[in-house]
Amino acid sequence: MASVKTRGKDKVRIVSAVISLGVIVALVFGIFSVAQNVKKSKNNNIVNLNETEGNVAIKTDDDPDIDVEEVTLDEENLVDVNATATKAGNGNDDKVTEQTTESTEQVPTDMSEAEVMANAISRYTFDKGSPMYWPVSGTITLGYNMDSTVYYKTLGVYKCSAGMIISSDVGTNVCAAVSGVVIDVMDSDETGKTVRIAAGNGYEMTTGMLDNVNVKIGDTVVEGQLLGTVAEPTAYYKKEGPGVYFAITRDGNPENPLEYLGE
């Protein structure tokens, strides 16, 4: 009986050992399979740049046999690139702005204000017979006279007159007599708010005793353009009454406005 029991125990040990060995083998195989799957997954996530269209070859010290095409943009290439960019921006295949290396004429940036003003004035060529407007419609209450003296009612004196006063109601619109460039907008004790316009060929027209002036120095104006309105007369012309002071000079010398305006 003891011998039978011993053989039974041995069989149990053998079966247990076989089962344990099987479990170990299964675990090892499982671990190996998982490792293989992880490796394949990583390889699948790597992008092979050499298999894509338009791939870029990169030359390294480790692989000196790889040829790299060096691209340089010369002046002609830049022109083509700029033209293509302009064409794309316009969205019109038929209209492409041509880019050239030729320089275009530019206004000098180092010109002084006086030079800029002179350049603008040079475009005008006023002379006798050129179109000219009366600043306002009205009668002349103080006339031009540089050959003899005229009487200034308000001042109570006789003296030469380099301009004239054209009577008009306060608030009446006042226009530019000629086309030109506004070279001064000033406040004068004698003529109040005053606008001076250069018309070319040395001619300047001065319009004073204004209100609501709507131009500034550097503006270009055309004959008949609104400059402002008639203001109250200054202390120099109280008795002459409201109106517009108007004078013409050529190269700084007074000219008779009636020779240009006509009576």
Quick one: DSSP state of residue 150?
E
Q: Looking at the domain assignment, is residue 193 inside a domain?
A: yes
pLDDT of 64 reads 45
pLDDT of 33 reads 67
Q: Looking at the domain assignment, is residue 135 inside a domain?
A: no
Q: Which residues of the chain have pLDDT under 70?
A: 1-12, 15, 18, 28-30, 32-110, 262-263
pLDDT of 11 reads 65
Alpha carbons 191 and 234: distance in angstroms, whole number: 7
pLDDT of 152 reads 95
At 91-116, the pLDDT tens digits run 434 433 333 333 333 445 567 878 88
Q: 133-163: b or e for each residue (b if 16 or more CB lie within 10 Å)?
A: eebbebeebbebeeeeeeebeeeeeeeebbb
pLDDT of 21 reads 74
Do residues 146 and 219 lie in contact, with contact meaning Cβ atoms separated by under 8 Å?
A: no
Domain that holds residue 30: 2-51
Q: How many CA atoms lie within 13 A of 37 on its CB side?
A: 6
Q: List the CATH number of the domain containing 223.
A: 2.70.70.10
Residue at which a domain ends, from 31, 51, 71: 51
pLDDT of 189 reads 95
Q: Looking at the domain assignment, is residue 112 inside a domain?
A: no
Looking at the 3D structure of the chain, how many domains does it have? 2
Of residues 246, 251, 158, the one with CA closest to residue 195: 246
Quick one: DSSP state of residue 152?
E
Token pair listed for 105:
């004429």
Residue at which a domain ends, from 12, 33, 51: 51
Alpha carbons 243 and 232: distance in angstroms, whole number: 8
Q: Looking at the domain assignment, is residue 66 inside a domain?
A: no
Helix (H, G, I), strand (E, B) or coil at 239: coil
Rounded to a whole number of angstroms, the CA Rg of the chain reads 49
Alpha carbons 199 and 126: distance in angstroms, whole number: 5
Handedness of CA 14, 16, 19, 25 (dihedral sign): negative
149 and 44, same domain (yes or no): no
Q: Looking at the domain assignment, is residue 116 inside a domain?
A: no
Helix (H, G, I), strand (E, B) or coil at 92: coil
Of residues 10, 50, 246, the one with CA closest to residue 134: 246
Alpha carbons 227 and 179: distance in angstroms, whole number: 12
Q: Which helix (H) or strand (E) holds 124?
A: none
Q: Looking at the domain assignment, is residue 107 inside a domain?
A: no
pLDDT of 100 reads 34
**120 Ramachandran zone, left/alpha/beta (phi>0; psi -120 to 50):** alpha
154 and 45, same domain (yes or no): no
Q: Looking at the domain assignment, is residue 129 inside a domain?
A: no
pLDDT of 140 reads 95
